[in-house]
Chains A and B, each alone.
Chain A
Amino acid sequence: MVEGIASRISKWVVAYPLLLIASVVMLFPLIWTLSTSLKTAQTVTLREVQLIPDPIQWSNYITIFEEAPLLRYTQNTLYMVLASVAGGVVICALAGYAFARIQFPARETFFYILLSTMMLPHVVQIIPLFVIFDRMGLVGTFWPLIIPRLLGHNAFYIFLMRQFFRGIPLELSDAARMDGCTELGIWARIVMPNSKPVLAAVAIFSIQFAWNDFLSPLIYLGPKQELWTLALGLNAQKGFEGEITSLHKMMVISIYMIIPMLAVFAFGQKYMIEGVTFSGMKG
């Protein structure tokens, strides 16, 4: 397509400057975080803008391990992440396959139930779930955070999988079925190897949601600091507005918490954006 001169001028006069300004605004909080994380207890309370700290205190990134059990928090968070990914890419994929490709009685009814649980606001589950886990004696343990994830308790992932699996050519699985392959075999050998995009998207979402989860660790782990996740540890680092002298430490933990998510994003950007787009357009 040929662009008119008017549109080319407006692009250079309007679009690029606006986008550049927006980019700076969007990146600024991260730059500020990095900058603050390198300050000292004294320079963090300077009243004037100091984007390049003087002195630059790299040791903040090491001494923080003496102040907060970050490795323990990370380990605890990883339990949730692992349970979430396993439940997502195995259990949800199995259910998604059944909804997409296996005929069984009342399948459509079950699928409507699945869709309606997707619509259910989380807020009506907070209290009763706590009561149920409390009655089971599991409050103050990791299980309430692990069991739902391991069981693939995420209707949205199942829905994503189903939509993707329906697009895989039937001929492939029919041929395997003729050869006496079981449904589990078809799922494992034909469907799963051909579903990398949706598996990657679900794995990335699982990692993100488990890494970011705040409410359920807050409710179930409460005062048990040895079980805390990174999200709880970071929140605890925050004092009152008056105790702002530990701001640089909060920013150090924030950076530690952000970097793995940036890495996930860097490796999975394509699948992530496809997944977000799909869920936003058709979900």
Chain B
Amino acid sequence: MLVPIQEFLHRHRTKWVGFAFILPWIVAALWFDLIPFVVNLLLSFTDYSVSTSIPNWTGTKNFNEIFTLDPLFSKSLGNTVYYLALSVPVRLVVALAIAILLNLRIMALGAFRTIFYVPSVVPLVAVSIIFFGMFNARYGIFNQVLILLDLPPVRWLTRPEWVKPAMVIMSTWGFGAQMVIFLAGLQGIPAELYEAAEMDGGNYWQKLFRITVPMLTPVIFFNLIIGIIGGFQVFASAYVLLGPGGGALNAGLFYVIHIYNNAFSYFRLGYAAALSVVLFLIILFFTIVMVRTSDRWVYYGDT
């Protein structure tokens, strides 16, 4: 008699308890994810500004402006794509190459891994400040070394053609996190595969490109997606290194900096929201295309 009642109470108590445990997350998800997502969409069709307390519905005016009137839209989008098309592959290849070297059963693996990882724990603003100093045309170490090597010095942060390579160099310094992931992936490749290849007389390069790289494609794919999504949203490093203006001739004006300027310098929050909606759709498009085409080159086991 008592047992079913207890069970009933217990079941319903746990039901309630489950919700209680996730309640803070529900509040946070509503407050900081879902409602903002909807509000952002609505704002993008208005002329909302901090000064005008009541936003006016302006239809697709913001989007028309983005695509037809705003020269900095295509400029900043082009800069961003240029930057991520360079930085993402470079960082990936360096991380993979170093991980492959570390996986050769070398001595002092832990020490090397630590050295390569340390730059990844340096705060982003500090990274930008350090490279701001190192890239300085007169007193920075990059040009001092170029001069020592009898090469012409470069105005890294004040010449439009050098701003993005400077950003790429800076971002490559932080390859350690990806390297650690690749290293774990390499250690997970079954040794039998290599032994079989050796018996068939496969050389090092054949093993690398026929076994190692194909077996790592899921990890490469994941890092590529994360890198591209992050690359589209690059902000702090460029803002600190180059300032809100985006460096020489806007060469370092990245998309999120353009959003930031519209929102917090010109107080055009509605327009900035529209810009962010466009970037969201671009990121979504890239992600879908990459996921859809991934089965052509990503190896997911023999299933």
* Further pairs besides A127-B273, A241-B136: 6, Cβ < 8 Å: A26-B176, A29-B130, A29-B131, A103-B14, A214-B125, A215-B236
Flag whether B15 is at the interface (Cβ < 8 A).
yes
Q: What interface size band does chain B fall in?
A: 35 or more
Q: B105-130, CB under 8 A of A: which get 1 and which 0? A: 11000001111111101111110011
Q: A4-44, CB under 8 A of B: which get 1 and which 0? A: 00010011000110110011001111101100100000001
Query: Which residues A235-280 have CB closer than 8 A to chain B?
Result: 235, 237-238, 241, 244, 247, 250-251, 253-254, 257-258, 261-262, 264-265, 269, 273, 276-277, 280
Q: Is A152 a contact partner of B25 (Cβ separation < 8 A)? A: yes
User: 28 interchain pairs (CB within 8 A)?
Assistant: A11-B104, A15-B101, A18-B101, A23-B115, A26-B176, A29-B173, A47-B139, A49-B144, A104-B14, A113-B34, A117-B34, A121-B229, A123-B232, A123-B233, A131-B269, A132-B31, A151-B31, A152-B25, A155-B25, A182-B17, A187-B21, A212-B125, A234-B125, A234-B129, A235-B240, A241-B136, A258-B126, A276-B181
Q: Is B126 a contact partner of A234 (Cβ separation < 8 A)? A: yes
Known: A241-B157, A280-B178. A254 touches B130 (CB 8 A): yes
Give chain A's interface residues, CB within 8 Å of chain B: 1, 3, 7, 10-11, 15-16, 18-19, 22-23, 26-30, 32-33, 36, 44-49, 91-92, 94-95, 97-99, 102-105, 107, 110, 113-114, 117, 119-132, 134, 148, 151-153, 155, 158, 182-184, 187, 208, 211-212, 214-215, 218-219, 230-231, 234-235, 237-238, 241, 244, 247, 250-251, 253-254, 257-258, 261-262, 264-265, 269, 273, 276-277, 280-281, 283
Q: Is B123 a contact partner of A45 (Cβ separation < 8 A)? A: no
| B25: A residues at CB distance < 8 A | 91-92, 95, 114, 151-153, 155, 158
Give chain B's interface residues, CB within 8 Å of chain A: 14-15, 17-19, 21-22, 24-29, 31-37, 39-40, 43, 48, 50, 98, 101-102, 104-106, 112-119, 121-126, 129-134, 136-139, 141, 144-145, 148, 157-158, 173, 176-178, 180-181, 184-185, 191, 204, 219, 222-223, 226, 229, 232-233, 235-236, 239-240, 256, 259-260, 263-264, 269, 272-273, 276-277, 279-280, 283, 287
Say how far B185's CB is from chain A's closest CB, in angstroms.
6
Known: A113-B29, A234-B126, A258-B126. A247 touches B133 (CB 8 A): yes
Smallest CB gap from A219: residue in B: B264
| A104: B residues at CB distance < 8 A | 14-15, 17-19
Say how far B147's CB is from chain A's closest CB, in angstroms.
8
Q: Is B280 a contact partner of A121 (Cβ separation < 8 A)? A: yes
Q: Is B15 a contact partner of A105 (Cβ separation < 8 A)? A: yes
Q: Name the contact of A95 in the complex, choosing from B24, B43, B119, B236 (C-beta under 8 A).
A: B24
**Which 3 pairs show the lowest CB-CB distances between chains A and B?**
A104-B18, A280-B181, A98-B21
Q: Is B269 a contact partner of A22 (Cβ separation < 8 A)? A: no
Q: Name the contact of A94 in the complex, choosing from B15, B21, B106 (C-beta under 8 A).
A: B21
Q: Is B222 a contact partner of A283 (Cβ separation < 8 A)? A: yes
| Distance between Cα atoms of A27 and B176 in the complex (Å) | 12
Q: Name the contact of A19 in the complex, choosing from B106, B185, B222 (C-beta under 8 A).
A: B106
| Distance between Cα atoms of A235 and B35 in the complex (Å) | 32
Q: Name the contact of A121 in the complex, choosing from B19, B50, B105, B279 (C-beta under 8 A).
A: B279
Q: Is A280 a contact partner of B14 (Cβ separation < 8 A)? A: no
Say how far A135's CB is from chain B's closest CB, in angstroms.
9
Q: Is A273 a contact partner of B125 (Cβ separation < 8 A)? A: no
Known: A120-B37, A124-B280. A280 touches B219 (CB 8 A): yes
